[in-house]
A = this chain, B = another copy of it.
Amino acid sequence: MRIGVLTSGGDCPGLNAVIRSVVHRGVVDHGDEIIGFVDGWRGLLEEDYRALTLDSVSGILAQGGTILGSTRVQPSKLREGVPAAKAMCERLGLDGIIPIGGEGTLKAARMLSDAGLPIVGVPKTIDNDIACTDVTFGFDTAVSVATEALDRLKTTAESHQRVMVVELMGRHTGWIALNAGMAAGAHAIVVPERPFDIEKLSRVVGERFERGKKFAIVVVAEGAKPEPGTMEWEQGSIDIYGHERFAGVATRLSGELERRLGKEARPVILGHVQRGGTPTAYDRILATRFGWHAVEAVHKGAFGHLTALQGTDINLVPLAEAVADLKTVPAERYAEAETVI
């Protein structure tokens, strides 16, 4: 068979591991021919691709980034490109296309699948917010990097007798904040799913100081916001270079806590460090399994699905289900983390 693979959207540790796995499983076990589209959907639309051999993927398992490149393409442009994509698919004799990407990519994948292209998606996001799969690769790496940073910040917060407000990735969901906060023993965790009450948050942190502790770590997801009416809040702004600045939540919270508690507080914005670099063992395994099962799905003709981790199994789930809703932090999970204060 002839199978195309592409990576789309932001960086995510494990992308290369998926690509490598698709090539290994396809070439070695099935005798497939694998091609890689360059720069995601752009490569597909512009028929820009290259052959992927065992040599092409030698040594990439532990490498961050993607050897295929990745650019963002407007959904509208992709929509217009569907007929051309179908034609190209026939011209190249593709038996399957495996797009690896996040929510946007999977929506695009669904569109192409509905149009009749032989698509098997592989979900990718460090944010862990794709429904139907227990976890996505990249997430464990992001949580590990954030946890290591929090471990380090703790000793500084303690030495300087400060509140540290640490902003982690997560515009819509708080998975990274929840898990890294729990792993590092943060004293409060603020996630977008639960608008915070600044009074209560301030009280929780204050009580810690009253118990004789000399520092506190507050972990906050970048998309967190206050309960309406409890605090002035206009998140995001356009800076002089025209970038929307989403950050700010750590800086705002840190300022508020300092003012209310009379304790020195400082924001730390961990940023892009969370989304790149070598994947953890966990993510390499998950990515490798996803790639393996995506090739199997193509061989079975199970198009219109994506690979998903459910328990310890990799199952195939209809694309339609995966893109329906964002997977948010449920109340029970948040309750577990709240204890750890």
Residues of A within 8 A of B (CB): 10-11, 13, 15, 20-21, 24-25, 28-29, 61-66, 69-71, 134-135, 140, 143-149, 151-161, 164, 179-180, 182-185, 214, 239-241, 243, 251, 254-255, 258-259, 266, 268-273, 275-278, 280-282, 284-285, 288-289, 292, 310-312, 336, 339-341
A-B contacts, 16 of them at CB < 8 A, read: A10-B156, A10-B159, A11-B160, A24-B340, A64-B155, A140-B281, A143-B285, A149-B273, A151-B277, A159-B276, A164-B272, A182-B288, A183-B285, A266-B272, A270-B273, A282-B282
Q: Chain B's nearest CB lies how many Å from the CB of A36?
A: 14
Q: Copy number of this protein in the oligomer?
A: 4
Report the Cα distance A61→B284, complex, angstroms: 22
Report the Cα distance A227→B269, complex, angstroms: 29
Closest to A185 in B: B61
Q: Chain B's nearest CB lies how many Å from the CB of A162?
A: 9
Report the Cα distance A177→B166, complex, angstroms: 23
Report the Cα distance A231→B207, complex, angstroms: 48
Known contacts A25-B339, A134-B312; is-contact A273 B284 (Cβ 8 Å): no
Are A268 and B271 closer than 8 Å at their CB atoms? yes
Contacts of A149 in B (CB 8 A): 273
Report the Cα distance A214→B70, complex, angstroms: 11
- Name the contact of A182 in the complex, choosing from B156, B278, B285 (C-beta under 8 A): B285
Contacts of A28 in B (CB 8 A): 339, 341
Q: Chain B's nearest CB lies how many Å from the CB of A172?
A: 18
Are B11 and A273 closer than 8 Å at their CB atoms? no
Known contacts A70-B159, A151-B62, A241-B259; is-contact A281 B180 (Cβ 8 Å): yes
Q: Chain B's nearest CB lies how many Å from the CB of A126?
A: 10
Contacts of A151 in B (CB 8 A): 62, 277-278
Q: Chain B's nearest CB lies how many Å from the CB of A141?
A: 9
Q: Chain B's nearest CB lies how many Å from the CB of A205?
A: 15
Task: Give 10 closest A-B pairs by Cβ, nearest first.
Answer: A152-B277, A64-B155, A156-B276, A65-B155, A241-B255, A183-B281, A11-B159, A147-B281, A11-B156, A155-B276
